[in-house]
């Protein structure tokens, strides 16, 4: 398994995707580099010059959004920034997951570290302090339109920096922000000119969720190859269709990787060898078996595109207005979430299709008319026992939900701010539904995994391939083999856990490292 760093340096050069996962999920500490401090200092000097100028500057000496025509006197500018945060912290609905909040905090800090937002060093330090103390502001499900940044979610974070609102401490207990800051030895922040806007005008929430989803899907596409190979084996399918020369006729890189995995996973299978001779009358397998690399490969290529977008976003400075190196402060539209929203929706489509083909393979293993000798529903005593009948129902319900979640959010737009913000990305909504898609796909693959493992056992005395046998044996550490009916929900949950924690991948990789 990949070793995650325990401490991350935050500098102007940006972050790697694995750094975000380390901070968001593993609690890695963060530290501003000397270069970041220098960039912050230089950027702040430019904002201070602007604040002293009589010419209006958006977000420094004016109101916000449709109220940008109002000039704000110097003695009201501190109130301007604090009021912005309080009014924009207007989220509602369920709490957003801790890892998502930590990711968006880190990504906002990363943007600040380049100096382009014009915040003070102490403001960046305050955000780093929250992360290192394990204090997580309570952010809500609804509030972001994915344009002008994830305004409401980031405002709830900024509110906590000010010592206001609700947070969860390192132990997960809900606390008043002021109390939690005091116990952690942190002081509430008094915002200076432009800092309120700089804290909230970014696509950090949707980007954080994209990076976390990419990390999850990078494992799930490989698990999908594993469960597909196990199903092919269990259903007496052929491995000849995965031959390299056939895959090269359609040179998609994801398809080539998936097919190579299938060949490696099925190598040395006594089950596959048992029906390879002239006595086998079957000409070709069903699409859900034969086309597994084409579907999983397309998902891989979609993921690669999403990862490329995420890497570009990790190198971006998202703020409005932005402080340029020559001292100018310019308005721009880089906060629009369309690039991120599109790939979030694209990944939801890929997840839905991976789940859909996995469910079809599971159904074939349970149907006595199509399973080539397996007992009905893989039941111990069909009729008395129901076997995995309803496990497939669960898969079908999840796949149906995944199809609904695949409907794009990014094609919608509702104008806001008195028509000043008249086109928005809905990228936050795309990210929220992708998280549900990833969870549902994990459960669908878990059902295929436990079903295929049982089917392989039922092919005894024929032995599966060494790689698929290793995965089957890993499943058996948590899920018993064939037998009379028993409570299936814990077994499906256990299999999902083995997928999520990397056990399934590790078992296969120990025999044949997968692409």
Instruction: List, by residue number, the catalytic residues.
Output: 58
Separation of alpha carbons 254 and 168, rounded Å? 41
The Cα–Cα gap between 28 and 20 comes to 9
| 2 burial level (CB within 10 Å; 0-12, 13-18, 19+) | exposed
Q: Where in 139-249 does DSSP place strands (E)?
A: 140-142, 166-168, 174-176
CB burial of 8-36 (b: ≥16 within 10 Å; e: otherwise) equals bbbbbebbebbbbbbbbeebbebebeebb
CB 297 within 8 A of CB 282: no
Among the listed residues 261, 266, 270, the one whose alpha carbon sits nearest the alpha carbon of residue 297: 261
The angle that helices 389-405 and 338-366 make with each other, rounded to 10 degrees, is 160
Distance CA 515, CA 513 (A): 7
Burial 411-426 (b: 16+ CB within 10 A, else e): eebeebbeeebeebbb
Q: Residue 112, CB half-sphere, CA atoms under 13 Å: how many?
A: 32
Distances in Å between the Cα of 69 and the Cα atoms of 14, 125, 332 are 34, 32, 17
Longest dimension (CA), the chain: 90
Kindly report each contact of residues 171-176 with a partner whose C-beta sits within 8 Å and lies 24 or more positions away, as own/partner: 172/98, 174/138
Q: Which residues pair with 175 in a beta bridge?
A: 167
Distance CA 320, CA 457 (A): 60
State the DSSP code for 194: T
Secondary structure element (H or E) that encloses residue 87, with its range: helix 77-88
Residues 6+ apart with CB under 8 A from 330: 321, 322, 324
Residue 72 CA to residue 152 CA, distance in Å, equals: 23
């Amino acid at each position: 398994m990949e070793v995650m760093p325990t401490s991350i340096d935050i500098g102007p050069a940006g972050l790697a995707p694995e750094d975000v996962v380390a901070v968001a999920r593993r609690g890695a500490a963060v530290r501003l580099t000397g270069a970041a401090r220098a960039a912050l200092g230089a950027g702040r000097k430019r904002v201070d010059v602007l604040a002293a100028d009589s010419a209006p500057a958006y977000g420094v000496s004016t109101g916000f959004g449709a109220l940008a025509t109002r000039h704000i006197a110097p003695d009201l500018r501190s109130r301007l920034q604090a009021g912005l945060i309080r009014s924009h912290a207007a989220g509602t609905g369920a709490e957003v997951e801790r890892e998502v909040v930590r990711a968006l905090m880190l990504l906002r800090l990363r943007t600040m570290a380049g100096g382009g937002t014009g915040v003070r060093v102490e403001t960046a330090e305050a955000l780093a302090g929250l992360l290192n103390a394990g204090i997580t502001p309570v952010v809500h499900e609804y509030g972001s339109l994915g344009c002008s940044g994830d305004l409401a979610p980031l405002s709830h974070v900024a509110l906590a920096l000010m010592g206001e609102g609700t947070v969860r401490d390192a132990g997960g207990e809900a606390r008043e922000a002021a109390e939690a800051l005091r116990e952690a030895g942190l002081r509430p922040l008094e915002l200076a000119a432009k800092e309120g806007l700089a804290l909230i005008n970014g696509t950090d929430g949707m980007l954080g969720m994209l990076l976390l989803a990419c990390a999850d899907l990078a494992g799930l596409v490989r698990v999908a190859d594993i469960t597909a190979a196990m199903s092919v084996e269990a259903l007496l399918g052929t491995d000849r269709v995965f031959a390299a020369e056939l895959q090269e006729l359609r040179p998609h890189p994801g398809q080539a990787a998936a097919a190579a995995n299938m060949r490696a996973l099925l190598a040395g299978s006594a089950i596959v060898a048992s029906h390879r001779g002239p006595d086998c009358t079957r000409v070709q397998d069903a699409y859900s078996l034969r086309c597994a690399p084409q579907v999983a490969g397309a998902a891989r290529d979609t993921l690669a595109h999403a990862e490329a977008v995420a890497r570009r976003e990790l190198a971006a400075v998202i703020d409005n207005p932005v402080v340029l190196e020559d001292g100018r402060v310019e308005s721009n539209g880089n906060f629009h979430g369309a690039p991120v929203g599109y790939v979030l929706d694209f990944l939801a489509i890929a997840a839905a299709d991976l789940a859909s083909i996995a469910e079809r393979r599971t159904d074939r293993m349970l149907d006595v008319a199509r399973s080539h000798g397996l007992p009905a529903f893989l039941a111990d005593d069909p009729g008395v026992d129901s076997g995995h009948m309803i496990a497939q129902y669960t898969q079908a319900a999840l796949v149906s939900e995944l199809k609904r979640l695949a409907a794009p959010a990014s094609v919608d737009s509702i104008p806001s701010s008195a028509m000043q913000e008249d086109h928005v990305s809905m990228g936050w909504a795309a990210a929220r539904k992708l998280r549900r898609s990833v969870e549902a796909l994990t459960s669908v693959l878990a059902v295929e995994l436990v079903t295929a493992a049982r089917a392989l056992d039922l092919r005894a005395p024929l032995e599966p391939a060494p790689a698929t046998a290793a995965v089957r044996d890993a499943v058996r550490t948590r899920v018993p083999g064939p037998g009379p009916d028993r409570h299936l929900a814990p077994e499906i949950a256990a299999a999902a856990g083995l997928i999520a924690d990397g056990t399934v991948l590790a078992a296969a990789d120990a025999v044949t490292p997968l692409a």
